[in-house]
Amino acid sequence: MNTQNNNSKLQDKRVIIMGGTSGIGLATAQAAAAEGANVIVVSSNQQRVDDALTTLPNTAKGYAIDLSSEQNIKSFFDGIGSFDHLVYTAGENLSLIYLSNLELENARSFFNLRYWGALASLKYAAPHINQGGSVSLMSGTASARPGAGWLLGASICGAMDGLTRAMAVELAPIRVNAVSAGVIKTNLWNGLTEADREGMYKYLGDNLLLKRVGEAEDIALAFTYLMKQQHGTGQILAVEGGTLLV
């Protein structure tokens, strides 16, 4: 895969994508690479890393890192050198959980990758981010418009929104922003049966202003914008098909 866009603000920039081997993360890696970035994808699974690299330019690199381990995250950033942009999209499969059958220990584990992994990545990545660089995190509209069964999803999205704003202040002038996505067709929904998953996509899509749920590429465009823009920080960019208006 060759890149041709020599006028992009991402040309020759070094971009690290945590969770960059599938779904939104991989789409973001592909979009950044298409604009000339040197991308580094990170995942906990070596096979997914290998598969992702086959879709990226020869300049891309990949690492299998346990993102639930603070020490592993620290070691990775200590050894990776300086870079320009960090994108964090890692997360477990999603499912609807109701208060009546909630198990607190399982609920706590939901935050391991999505929140604590992101926070550890911020801590150990920040000293290595070049001037003019940025961090982009993953959030979602569930914090503002939760439905029944979304208590954990709404909680983690609210936590990510708060983390984004707090880190924009503390890490300035590094820009820290987040993308707040609606329901997106990715393998994170593979915890549902195929019938339930497709039924959810159709029901939600039919009720959105744009009449479809999002694709990974829609969110990748938002992440590449956040990397390239130079004067926005602490912002939560909603890309959600009109979810917040209906």
Res. 9: pLDDT tops 50: yes
% of residues, the chain, pLDDT over 90: 75
Res. 233: pLDDT tops 80: yes
Q: What is the pLDDT of residue 60?
A: 98
Residue type at 169 in one-letter notation:
V
Per-residue confidence band for 5, with pLDDT thresholds at 50, 70 and 90: low
Structure tokens at 74: 């620290």
Q: What is the pLDDT of residue 81?
A: 97
Instruction: Compute φ and ψ for 14, nearest 5 degrees.
Output: -100, 120
Q: Which residues is 175 bridged to in the sheet?
A: 134
**Count of structural domains, the chain:** 1
Q: What is the pLDDT of residue 30?
A: 98
Q: What is the pLDDT of residue 1?
A: 47
The mean pLDDT of 122-144, rounded to a whole number, is 96
Q: Which residue has the higher pLDDT, 189 or 124?
A: 124
Instruction: Compute φ and ψ for 240, nearest 5 degrees.
Output: -150, 15
First-to-last alpha carbon distance for the chain, in angstroms, is: 40
Q: What is the CATH number of the domain that holds 136?
A: 3.40.50.720
Per-residue pLDDT of 57-78, as tens digits, reads 999 999 999 999 999 999 999 9
Task: Determine, yes or no, domain membership for 134.
Answer: yes
Task: Determine, yes or no, domain membership for 7.
Answer: no
Task: Determine, yes or no, domain membership for 5.
Answer: no
The mean pLDDT of 128-143, rounded to a whole number, is 96
Task: Determine, yes or no, domain membership for 2.
Answer: no
Cβ distance 191 to 152 under 8 Å? Answer: no
Helix (H, G, I), strand (E, B) or coil at 127: helix
Q: What is the pLDDT of residue 195?
A: 87
Per-residue confidence band for 6, with pLDDT thresholds at 50, 70 and 90: low
Task: Determine, yes or no, domain membership for 4.
Answer: no
The pTM of the full predicted model, rounded to 2 decimals, is 0.92
Per-residue pLDDT of 33-60, as tens digits, reads 999 999 999 999 999 999 999 999 999 9
CA gap 26, 187 in Å, rounded: 11
Task: Determine, yes or no, domain membership for 1.
Answer: no
Domain span at 226: 14-245
Q: What is the pLDDT of residue 59?
A: 96
Per-residue pLDDT of 178-216, as tens digits, reads 999 998 888 777 777 788 888 888 988 899 999 999 999
Per-residue pLDDT of 136-160, as tens digits, reads 999 999 999 888 888 999 999 999 9
Closest CA to 65 of 36, 40, 43, 92: 43
Task: Determine, yes or no, domain membership for 83.
Answer: yes
Task: Determine, yes or no, domain membership for 55.
Answer: yes
Per-residue confidence band for 109, with pLDDT thresholds at 50, 70 and 90: confident
